[in-house]
Structure formats: structure tokens, C-alpha cells
Amino acid sequence: MNRIAITMGDPAGIGAEIILKSLSILTAKSIPVVVGDIKVFDQLCSRLPSLPRFSFKHPGSGSSGDVEFSDVGRIDTVEPGLSDGRCGEASYKYIMEALKLVFTGEAMALVTCPISKASLSMAGIPFPGHTELLAHAGGVDSYVMMLANPKIRVSLVTIHIPLATVPAEITEEKVFRCIRITTRSLQERFSIRNPSIKICGLNPHAGEKGVIGHEEDGIIRAISRAQSMGMDATGPYPADSVFHHIDCDAYIAMYHDQGLIPVKTIDFERTVNITLGLPFVRTSPGHGTGFDIAGKGTANPTSLIEAYRMAEIMAEEKKKTISRPLR
């Protein structure tokens, strides 16, 4: 039976809690393989005895329907809700261990619980987040972060960079690359034969033809280039109104908050983070580590459940996809 690796994320966050809650609800077509520290789960269950418990098995030893656990053994005890270099290093180790399962074919997809960028930095890990780390591990430099829920999908041209540096990063090449990867991924991972995509401008009113900035010049050239290759890409549209009526297969936003605010406002609990352009399937809950509620038993597992289900769907599509050139 197929397996999907689930990393615990930051040990001080809500990862372990939402994993336990999700596994008690999820009806999976695959075997979940949790990658983390078993002692963190034991500590959490001692703190919150009402949480569901599982008799985890070692990877590969279970039968259909079993839940497996790969114990990395980095953390014995943890203080919930605090940034910690030990936790940053541990969360990095979980990812790398899970990637071994993916690269060796033991897992068909990767689902990652949230990590702390502060803890990663404290551990000296040279990546600002999952997306960049996984792209490096996958050997790709062209990748896209997409946030999706049952109502809307949004891809981002820029991701985890300061807002002050965004305008310089909005180039024709980067916008075109985002359109291309999004289009191809919708075809190959979501079975959308001719996806339609709407692209946001950067400035208010999408620049008003240069009256409110010229960053849209590169966006317009990228859209024209995509259209010349047969892609259904239109814009740039003013970001304050384009999401009002959802009438396309995906949107492309120029920066993190421009795209994530509408997605999470529309359906926060079921929003999933997807990395497009990787040689493997990766999804994640659309929220963060939840340090403010860690260890309290109030974390909602819905986004992780959606991420797991999305990973199953995308992995199955990946298996049966025959690459099709863009028209």
C-alpha cells in the first residue's frame, strides 16, 4: 500500500497535536508515516490525556490502515510555544528524514506540519522556510508556492522576502515562470486540461497604465509571452477587486500577503500550502506553528486533514500523468 510521510514540524508548536487529532478522523487511502520525536508525542499525551493515542509501528512493518512512526530521536522534552534552536534543528532533521522516504520511493508524497522560521534561524539552518528548503533538496530553482482551498487557488511570484524588496523582484521572467509552473501543475496534478489564470498587478489599480508605477510593465510582457504559448493567462488586474468573484482556475499574486489574505479569508481552516515545481508532491497546512495555543489542546486539525487528502489526490495524478507540452 502507498505511504505518505508526515513531518511533525516544530516540536514546540501544534504539529504533534494536529497529527494525533487528524489520524483519529482521517480516512486514508494510504499509510501515514509520521516523522518526528516519539518522546514529544508522549509528553503531549501526558499533558493532554484526552488526545487520541496510537500504537505506532516502524515504517514498512504495518499492514493496510496502520499508522507508522519514524522516530528521529532529537528532542526529549520541549517547552510549548517557545522558539528554540534545538527545535529548529529537530524540525530540519524531520524534513530530511522524510525526504529519504520520498526519494527512495517508500513514500509517494510529503505532508509537512508548520516549522518556526525563528527556530530554524537560531539553529543556523540557511533557509527561510519549507518551500526554499524543499526546492534545494529537490534540485530545482524554479518553483512556486500555491495556497489552495475548495474555493480558490493562488500562486505567488515572491514568497518570504521583505515587502520593501518586492518591487525589484517583479520581473518579466519571474512572473512568466510562475504562470508556466502554475499552468503545468494544474494540468498534471489537478487534471485541468486548459486552466485559466488571472494575474494581479502590484500597484493600486494595477498601475493605472503607468500613472501609479511601472512594475506592471514586466507583468504585461510576461502575460503576453504566456498567451503566445497558448496559456490562458490574463491581467494584470487590480488586486483589491479581482478576488471578488472567483471565476478562474487559479490566480497569481505578486507577494505573500496580497495572495494569502483572500485565500485565508475565504476559507482559513481548509487552506492548504502546496509547492509546485518539485519532483515530488508536497503539501502542508495553510497555517503556522500556533505557538500561542501550543500544548493547550485547542488546535484545529482541519487544514492538516485537507493537506493529507490533497497529497493523496496529487500523488495519484502524478502516477498516471503523461507529460503534455503546453500549447
Q: Degrees (nearest 5) of the Cα angle 283, 137, 84?
A: 75
Distance CA 41, CA 52 (A): 11
Mean pLDDT within 222-250: 96
Q: Which of 109-113, 213-217, 258-262 has the lowest mean pLDDT?
A: 213-217
Which cell goes with 236?
494584470
Q: What percentage of the chain carries pLDDT values higher than 70?
A: 94
What is the tens place of the pLDDT at every residue in 193-212? 999 999 999 999 988 888 88
Task: Give the start-to-end residue ranges of the domains of the chain.
Answer: 1-140+278-327, 142-272
Q: Do domains 1-140+278-327 and 142-272 have the same CATH topology?
A: yes
pLDDT at residue 322 in the model = 44
Report the predicted TM-score, pTM, of the whole model to 2 decimal places. 0.89
pLDDT at residue 61 in the model = 53
- pLDDT of 62 strictly over 80: no
pLDDT at residue 58 in the model = 67
pLDDT at residue 326 in the model = 44
Mean pLDDT within 160-175: 95
pLDDT at residue 55 in the model = 72
Mean pLDDT within 127-156: 92
The answer as to CATH 3.90.1150.50 being correct for domain 1-140+278-327 is no
pLDDT at residue 327 in the model = 40
Q: For 180, phi and psi rounded to 5 degrees?
A: -65, -50
Mean pLDDT within 45-70: 75
- pLDDT of 63 strictly over 70: no
Q: Pick 27 or 165 by higher pLDDT.
A: 165
State the DSSP string of 163-191: GGGHHHH--HHHHHHHHHHHHHHHHHHH-
Which cell goes with 318?
502524478
- Architecture of the domain delimited by 142-272: 3-Layer(aba) Sandwich (3.40)
pLDDT at residue 325 in the model = 46
Which cell goes with 315?
500523488
CB 90 within 8 A of CB 40: no
Mean pLDDT within 299-315: 94
